[in-house]
Structure 1
Amino acid sequence: MLDETLPQDLSTGHPAAALSADPAPGLAHDPGTGHRRPPRREFKARGSFTERCAGCNLPVLNCLCPYRASAESEARVWLITHPLEHLKPTNTGRLIRDVLPATEVFTWYRTAPDERLLALLDDPRFAPFVIFPDDQPDYAERVVGMEAVGAAKRKDKVPVFILLDGTWRQARRIFRKSDYLDRLPVLPLATSRVTRYRLRKPASQAHLCTAEVAAELLRQSGDGEAAQVLDDYFDAFNVSYAASRRYEKLEAPTAAMRRLLARHGG
């Protein structure tokens, strides 16, 4: 749900593009919704001057576009993304939307909840679950297990995994400061999986990045094929980006890349 170093119990639109200037002085567009928002200081991270592919936002040295693949799943993923995550090319939330086109991305603002998100939370077709650790007693009565996802399916509901996409500190703030999430069940991710993410240093190997969390949730809830495609796409992203940081051109596709190519006859 959360961020690129999200605790394993849980971890955007497409990142890297700076907020576009609005014709009205002093305003800018939110990259997730298009709404006007107050401007922020220009974001300049290491590698901000790297030549990037317009399609995948990776350095052109190891473009990810040939490996992009889509999959279908019974469950859906909705991302509530901190505004700064949109600007980070290392954000993996966007990989989920590449693989699962039905993924929804909402930018979080404490005082301005996204109206589309609020409407979807009230839609009786969906059974949303907030992915978050069960480490605090004040919401213990809301904590459920993966069996609740199966129960939702048996009621012909579409299970939805709501991932809070940001740093761990940002994710906690989103969870605590979003009243509209208070009525939803909390689903902690129970897994022994360790992270394979190379682009940000986690506090622990048990802290999974956003895409890894989504893949593990899909796998545990029965969407095995979608989970495998997302895992492979994440691996392709991870390896490609890491090689580009070393200014190395990948000479041959990895096993995950070959599986992705095979999905569309590549």
Structure 2
Amino acid sequence: MRDDAELTIEPRSSSETQQPSADARRDAAGEDANPPRREFKARGSFVERCDGCRLPVLNCLCPYRVTATSDAQVWLLTHPYEHNKPTNTGRLIADVLPLTQTFTWYRTAPEARLLELLADRRYVPFVVFPDDQPDYQHRVVDERAVIGAKQDGFIPVFILIDGTWRQARRIFRKSPYLDGLPVLPLHTDRLTRYRLRKPASASHLCTAEVAAELLRKTGDVTAASVLDDYFDAFNESYAASRFYHKLEKPNAAMQRLLDRRATGSTYA
């Protein structure tokens, strides 16, 4: 989740190829009852981008991609506006953790696959959301619940709402299938390192940063470190590309990723 206009996915799953109805698209847009008729062209939309990482080819991120495993999984509940935003960080989680699931949010048309997974007793899902309202305090848990689920032989799942803060609050409130799930707030002193948009507060982390912190706090330390490094590589590469600057040598995070790739193994 984040404050700015962007949060965040590449079309890796079949769910992203579905064609929702016009009513569903209007629902997802919230107050936008008359969506634009032409494709939105953001600044930089004509930049030549890598098909793999979506970054400008000037500083392609693909050489630094490293996969990792974790005891916990991440499911991204993504606002439809986020899928085509190249600065979205949710896709970084899917790059690092191959078991990540991505679902598009439509208020009146929840994906059947998501509902099936929520009913699967192998998983213990947690909705990651701030504990700042009294009406759902009875559902709020902390990281001990995640660790307990692991110890009991279940697969804990972090459901991350991938959108702006305004979109995230709407998704949280307008998704009945989330109502019975425990709410896991992230309490951390970490300040955002996201450089591609200006948040309302330095304490508002982007989606990839939230995932890395949750993984670290619940015991998946190596996966958290890999995701953190990959996020830093993304941050540096994208920021340089905005000024048409070619990075001549890897920064510290990039070098750690290159060293990991050199081992030729998935990090657990």
CA distance in 2: counterparts of 1:12 and 1:197, whole angstroms? 12
Select the residue among 220, 231, 235 that pairs with 1:234.
Answer: 231
Q: CA-to-partner distance for each residue in 1:205-248, whole Å, 9 max, x for gaps?
A: 00000000000000000000000000000000000000000110
Partner secondary structure for residue 103 of structure 2: strand
Partner of 2:90: 93
Q: Which runs of 5+ in 2 are unaligned?
A: 26-34, 264-268
1:1-266 to structure 2, matched below 5 A, reads 2-3=1-2, 5=4, 13-14=9-10, 32-37=15-20, 38=22, 41=36, 42-265=39-262
The alpha carbon displacement at 1:31 in A equals 8.0
The alpha carbon displacement at 1:3 in A equals 3.4
Q: CA-to-partner distance for each residue in 1:38-67, whole Å, 9 max, x for gaps?
A: 376312111101110111100011000100
User: What is the TM-score with the length of structure 1 in the denominator?
Assistant: 0.89
The alpha carbon displacement at 1:70 in A equals 0.2
CA distance in 2: counterparts of 1:118 and 1:12, whole angstroms? 21
Instruction: State, as a whole percentage, how many aligned pairs show the same letter.
Output: 68
CA distance in 1: counterparts of 2:3 and 2:97, whole angstroms? 19
- Structure number with the higher helix fraction is 2
State the one-letter code of the partner of 1:13.
I
The alpha carbon displacement at 1:263 in A equals 1.1
CA distance in 1: counterparts of 2:117 and 2:97, whole angstroms? 18
The alpha carbon displacement at 1:33 in A equals 2.9
Q: Which runs of 5+ in 1 are unaligned?
A: 16-29
Partner secondary structure for residue 33 of structure 1: helix
Report if aligned partners of 2:9, 2:88 keep a CA contact under 8 Å in 1. no
Give the aligned CA root-mean-square deviation in angstroms.
Answer: 1.8
Q: CA-to-partner distance for each residue in 1:1-58, whole Å, 9 max, x for gaps?
A: x13759xxxx76318xxxxxxxxxxxxxx98432122376312111101110111100
Q: Which moved more, 1:84-93 or 1:40-49?
A: 40-49
CA distance in 2: counterparts of 1:95 and 1:166, whole angstroms? 14
* Alpha carbons of structure 1 residues 4 and 228: separation in structure 2 relative to 1, 3 Å: farther
Q: CA-to-partner distance for each residue in 1:159-208, whole Å, 9 max, x for gaps?
A: 00000000000000000000000000000001000000000110000000
State the one-letter code of the partner of 2:143.
M
Partner secondary structure for residue 169 of structure 1: helix
State the one-letter code of the partner of 2:10.
H
The alpha carbon displacement at 1:150 in A equals 1.1
Partner of 2:32: none
Instruction: Count residues in correspondence.
Output: 247
Report if aligned partners of 1:131, 1:163 keep a CA contact under 8 Å in 2. yes
User: What is the TM-score with the length of structure 2 in the denominator?
Assistant: 0.89
Report if aligned partners of 1:43, 1:87 keep a CA contact under 8 Å in 2. no
Partner secondary structure for residue 237 of structure 1: helix
Partner secondary structure for residue 74 of structure 1: coil
CA distance in 1: counterparts of 2:190 and 2:8, whole angstroms? 24
State the one-letter code of the partner of 1:92.
T
Runs of 4+ in 1 over 2 A off after TM superposition: 3-6, 30-33, 37-41
State the one-letter code of the partner of 1:66.
P
